[in-house]
Chains A and B, each alone.
Chain A
Amino acid sequence: MSQKILAKNKLDAFLQGLCRDQDLFAPVMKDGKVGWAPVATADQALWDFSNTEMSPKDFFFPQTECMMRFKNVQGDPQGMIMQAEPALNRPRVLLNIRPCDAKAFQVLDLIFVQDEMTNDLYWRDKREKTTLIGLACNDPCPTCFCTTVGSNPHGTTGLDVLLVDLGDKFLAQALTAKGEALVGDLPAAAGGDEAKAAELKKAAEGKISGGVAMDKVNSREVMELYDAPLWDRVMESCLNCGTCTFCCPTCHCFDIQDETQGQDGRRVRNWDYCMSWLFTMHGTGHNPRGTKKDRVRQRFMHKFKYIPVKRGGEIGCVGCGRCVRLCPVNIDVRQVVNDMNA
């Protein structure tokens, strides 16, 4: 695919083209935090930031999403019958998404869409109608560890276009046909531009100091890791607050609830989290993950053992470091995984 140049003084024209027939979103500064918002011009978007506070998974897997509606009248010919919500009516572009977050969507694709029955149309519809323009990280944070979990500060997985900030301009790499259509008209890059991007990539990789080792986690049996003594220690400080699951780009557990108001009824899905005691509780009161230890262990085992076992080695973590930064009791996923690997 082609390598193009996007001059920084041409950004507005580029963005105008992007939002002509689509909704355009990018990271912006909001209340002192970096978050996602609709943008129309280049100065509304952030071009120099570490990463958004929360993962952009909300675009594909909203925190609350109406799945279907029904007329709440028993006895009416159409009453009580669920009708699916309509699909997204406008395509979207996410601009300046970080490579780790884009990689996370590809991991989640393997979970939301598996076969004819496990075929989440809500997820799939939004994925198919969204273009991802990535912005390579030239300056990863101290909490980033993407290179040790199969991602990269300049990674291209899951993206349609990757932008690399070369100083006065961006190198724009088209990665898919969708991406090619967006940047095809831009001027071609010179050999020097690509060489500079390669240098920046190497420098960014070099800035990632900490990380996880997974070799023994991969080779050990499920029960060996499950029965390892480390969980007694990790669970002591955990509050089961769920912050890590809410900010995580690959956490995808959800609940489904019905709501009614008069004759209107709907079925919604909401983010849920494995740290909650209710999450697994049976109607009888029996709870298969009844202790805090069970729940803490579930989160790490799910990401680093269960998903790899089931999804061809793919890890349920992209090394974005959000949970490391936001955990109120400083549980560091890197330390936990390295202990699992010890």
Chain B
Amino acid sequence: MRNTYVPYPVSIKEVRVETEDKQLKSFWLQFLNSEDASAFNYTPGQFAELSISGYGEIPIGIASSPTEGRDLLFTVNKVGSVSSRLHNMKAGDIMGVRGPLGNSYPLRAAKGKNIVIVAGGFAVTTLRSTMNWLLHPDHRGDYGEITFIYGARTPGMLLYTQEWTAWQNSGQAKVCVTVDREAPGWSGLVGFVPTVTGDVAPKPDNAIALICGPPIMIKFTQPVFDKLGWQSDQIIMSLENRMKCGIGICGRCNVGPEYVCKDGPVFTKTQLDKLPREY
């Protein structure tokens, strides 16, 4: 029987500074033991506890897709003591990963549907995983139109630019990337995510929307979807709360009876409408 508190040992394979403010770094992690890599079966939307011995653990959404191989990608904002320590680590350093944890986006249940993805800021991580999974030749044919709306404050704050540019060029998805204000050298869309979503006007027929972003973005994006005729059970969101155990025991991440770590982090708006706003 596996002790699910003990992290799998991994080494840092590559570190990449993602944003102009250097607050976000991406880490590619490689399992030290191949049997651990095989045991770590995940789907887009799940997260893991990144463990740094001597500092602790932080729950972070998995940004890689299982279709990309066995290494894992995490993009981490520098906030507290664990993430600050991680930002000071380098390729070759040993750390741990515990998971995969939580549920995932209902992609298999959405076969045959159009998928609309709306992301703001660095909440795009698990949606990067989702896009890579959806656009993989094994899965792309199972879905209708795929729309990817993503915004950040400035061009320098956009994550994964190379990748969404490639999605755009592939013609496999409608990619709408926006920044809050005009910026030198930026020829793409300008405006807040809710406004751009209103302009794109995704149709609710036979579709689901995955929305991840800061609370302010979600607050103003929801009415846009309502106006376009979307129902609450078509709108899927991912929550974040402070966590420790990550497996539904330790008692801090719950939103009403639901544990974000175990019953979530992915919930439909129908579910959230019946729960306290403790997130």
Q: Identify the A interface with B (CB < 8 A).
A: 67-68, 70, 72, 74, 79-84, 111-112, 114, 116-122, 221-223, 226, 252-258, 260, 265, 267, 272, 274, 279-284, 288-289, 294, 298, 301-302, 305-307, 309-310
Task: Mark each residue of chain B from 216 to 254: 1 if its CB lies under 8 Å from any CB of chain A, else 0.
Answer: 000000000000000000000000111011011111111
Given contacts A255-B250, A258-B53, A289-B278, contact A309 B257 (CB under 8 A): yes
22 CB < 8 A contacts A-B: A80-B9, A80-B95, A84-B6, A111-B249, A114-B248, A119-B2, A120-B5, A120-B249, A121-B5, A122-B5, A222-B257, A254-B245, A255-B250, A256-B57, A256-B245, A258-B54, A258-B56, A265-B54, A280-B253, A283-B242, A302-B251, A306-B257
Given contacts A82-B7, A309-B257, contact A283 B95 (CB under 8 A): no
Report B214 CB to chain A, min CB distance, Å: 10
Q: Determine the distance from Cα of A111 to Cα of B247 in the docked complex, in whole angstroms.
A: 10
Instruction: Confirm or deny: B51 has a beta carbon within 8 angstroms of a beta carbon on chain A.
Output: yes
Task: Mark each residue of chain B from 250 to 275: 1 if its CB lies under 8 Å from any CB of chain A, else 0.
Answer: 11111111000010000000000011
A81 and B1 contacting across the interface, CB-CB below 8 Å: no
Q: Determine the distance from Cα of A252 to Cα of B248 in the docked complex, in whole angstroms.
A: 11
A-B interface, 7 closest residue pairs, ranked by CB to CB distance from nearest? A253-B251, A283-B79, A306-B257, A283-B80, A288-B278, A80-B53, A309-B257
Q: Determine the distance from Cα of A309 to Cα of B254 in the docked complex, in whole angstroms.
A: 13
Within 8 A of A (CB), among B46-104: 51, 53-58, 79-80, 83, 93-96, 101
Q: Identify the B interface with A (CB < 8 A).
A: 1-7, 9, 32, 51, 53-58, 79-80, 83, 93-96, 101, 240-242, 244-245, 247-257, 262, 274-279
Given contacts A112-B249, A255-B250, contact A68 B6 (CB under 8 A): yes
Measured between beta carbons, the chain A residues less than 8 angstroms from B277 are: 288
Measured between beta carbons, the chain B residues less than 8 angstroms from A281 are: 242
Measured between beta carbons, the chain A residues less than 8 angstroms from B58 are: 283
The binding surface of chain A is classed by DSSP as mixed
Measured between beta carbons, the chain A residues less than 8 angstroms from B247 are: 117-118, 120
A253 and B6 contacting across the interface, CB-CB below 8 Å: no
- The residue of chain B having its C-beta at the shortest distance from the C-beta of A279 within the complex is B252
B1 and A280 contacting across the interface, CB-CB below 8 Å: no
Q: Determine the distance from Cα of A84 to Cα of B4 in the docked complex, in whole angstroms.
A: 10
Q: Determine the distance from Cα of A286 to Cα of B250 in the docked complex, in whole angstroms.
A: 20
- The residue of chain A having its C-beta at the shortest distance from the C-beta of B90 within the complex is A74
The binding surface of chain B is classed by DSSP as loop
Q: Which of B80, B253, B257 has the most CB of A within 10 A?
A: B257
Given contacts A258-B54, A265-B54, contact A81 B257 (CB under 8 A): no
A280 and B241 contacting across the interface, CB-CB below 8 Å: yes
Report A120 CB to chain B, min CB distance, Å: 6
A72 and B54 contacting across the interface, CB-CB below 8 Å: yes
Measured between beta carbons, the chain A residues less than 8 angstroms from B2 are: 116, 119
Known: A80-B54, A121-B3, A221-B274. 19 other contacts (CB 8 A): A67-B5, A70-B53, A72-B53, A82-B96, A84-B5, A84-B6, A117-B101, A117-B247, A119-B4, A120-B249, A222-B275, A222-B276, A258-B53, A272-B252, A274-B251, A288-B241, A288-B278, A301-B256, A302-B251
